[in-house]
Structure 1
Amino acid sequence: MVILLLLLLIGAGIGALVAGNRRGRAPRGDDVLADARAEARHWYERLGGQLVNLRADSDLARQALVDATERHQAAGGQLAQAQTVTQFRLARESALEGLAYVRAARIALGLDPGPELPPLASAQSVGSIAEEQDLGAYRVGPRPTPATPYYYPGGYQNGRPMPAGYYSTPWWKTALAAGAGTLGGMLLFDSLLGGIGHHHGGPGPFDGDFL
């Protein structure tokens, strides 16, 4: 009888411990979701504030602000529909891309670009353009000029790393419209990467490894 009672007490204790662990895990999941939502909203609101307060008086800055506005609208739409951590992180990424364009606009206006932003998940290890370079039909550079007015924050296109910097044309929009799998899109990427693939983090017009 005593042994049976001890077994019942041990079983009850184990059951309570398991139930407590389950209850302890649930709030942590909720906390992760709440943190992801709060962070996405923080960057979204910061982007909105920058767009309200910044006025472009040059074509170079105006183009960057147009791109920033597009990312702000995208982030707002993503936030409105987000229900998971991954979806909130995508909204955060869109807002950070917009803030990268804001930094580009501030540089074009001769203003302090402000504090560094968290790295974009889509631009990990792609590097940035270090010096002006002519790639045939395209021109790239590390700063806005009349010849390179379009800023790209870096990322992967068709599985290929494309560095952050300024370009003569917004090729990423053309590629998205045409479809990354088309022959035209492939030729565009090959042309842009022609000068990049020969540099592996050493001296050259690009910082980083782009193979």
Structure 2
Amino acid sequence: MVGARYREPMWWSRRRKERELADAREEALRWYERLGGQIMNLPPGEEAATKQALVDAGERYNAAGGQLDRATTVKQYELARETSLEGLAYVRAARVAMGLDPGPELPPLAGQRQAGAVRQPRSVEVQGQEYRASPRPASDTPYYYPGGMVSGRPVPSGWYSEPWWKTALVAGAWGVGGALVFDALFSPGWGGGWGGGGFESGYDSGYDQGFDAGYDQGQDQAQDQDQGQDQDQGADYTDASYDTGGYDDSGGYDGGYDGGFDGGGFDGGDFGGGDF
């Protein structure tokens, strides 16, 4: 009886892990097979953007196949599933470039929401070379990226003139050239991205408005309470009017500080909505 009581939980645990592994494998295979079918059935097209998107989709298909062959854990099957979803995102981009219906929405990729999307065309020059980003495919922006975190930096989904992020994807770290292009396209110092009305303006206006509103409210409450104390008890400097009204509980400096960061700064601004 004692032995049976200890063997049963181990048996159930082993069966549960086997089911989880089988489910993860089937989920990865489902997206992998869907990717292969769409690549085979979609004509290559004539536009450079279409051809490049299908090349990238084919690379993800081959990579996902290799991951599936080597996978022995749930996590490894999840990585293969993610690679297949990336390939399907490139297929959707190819369909958009061909003027076709992109099809149903896909599950979001890791880091995709955080990275946002390019919402307006932009062009910058870095070390004598021009780089472009656009929300739409064109002859001068044939390289699509579905969006995500690349070596710690959010690269928005969109169409680009050069695949400047690929080195960081392969090497796991940004080279000097890729980092400069990223900063030029999306950093505040170059007049775009987070600084062009997103992070900085959200932080500044939210902080100022929240601080002023909270400070004024706290001062008003402090004055009202001081007047009440003067009428009822006389102006006693040690009573609750000083602490409660202006600077602590009722919203003076505390209210301004919280209102600035939460009402319109880091939280309310949300890096300008995640889009560029």
Any conservation in 1 of the 2:165–2:178 contact (CA below 8 Å)?
Answer: no
> Partner of 1:173 in structure 2?
166
Check if 1:208 corresponds to 2:274. yes
Instruction: List runs of 5+ in structure 2 lacking aligned partners.
Output: 203-267
Any conservation in 2 of the 1:96–1:117 contact (CA below 8 Å)?
Answer: yes
Structure-2 change in CA distance of 1:45 and 1:177 (3 Å): closer
Any conservation in 1 of the 2:132–2:160 contact (CA below 8 Å)?
Answer: yes
Q: CA deviation at 1:176?
A: 4.5
> Partner of 2:137 in structure 1?
144
Q: CA deviation at 1:147?
A: 2.2
Structure-2 change in CA distance of 1:34 and 1:56 (3 Å): same
After alignment, is 57-66 or 176-185 more displaced? 176-185
Check if 1:97 corresponds to 2:116. no
Any conservation in 2 of the 1:128–1:207 contact (CA below 8 Å)?
Answer: no
> Partner of 2:100 in structure 1?
111
Instruction: List runs of 5+ in structure 1 lacking aligned partners.
Output: 1-11
User: Equivalents in 1 of 2:170, 2:9: separation in Å?
Assistant: 50
Root mean square deviation, CA, Å: 2.4
> Partner of 1:196 in structure 2?
193
After alignment, is 177-186 or 31-40 more displaced? 177-186
TM-score for both structures, normalised by structure 2: 0.65
Any conservation in 2 of the 1:178–1:185 contact (CA below 8 Å)?
Answer: no
Q: Deviations over 1:29-71 (max 9, x none)?
A: 1111111111111111100000110012222211100000000
> Partner of 1:24 in structure 2?
12
Q: Deviations over 1:125-156 (max 9, x none)?
A: 21111222223432111111122111001112
The correspondence for 1:67, drawn from 47, 56, 78, is 56
Structure-2 change in CA distance of 1:114 and 1:155 (3 Å): same
Q: CA deviation at 1:175?
A: 4.0
Structure with the higher fraction of residues in helix conformation: 2
The correspondence for 2:29, drawn from 41, 51, 66, is 41
User: Equivalents in 2 of 1:209, 1:108: separation in Å?
Assistant: 21
Q: CA deviation at 1:113?
A: 0.4
Any conservation in 1 of the 2:168–2:174 contact (CA below 8 Å)?
Answer: no
Structure with larger Rg: 2
Q: CA deviation at 1:124?
A: 4.3
Structure-2 change in CA distance of 1:207 and 1:145 (3 Å): farther
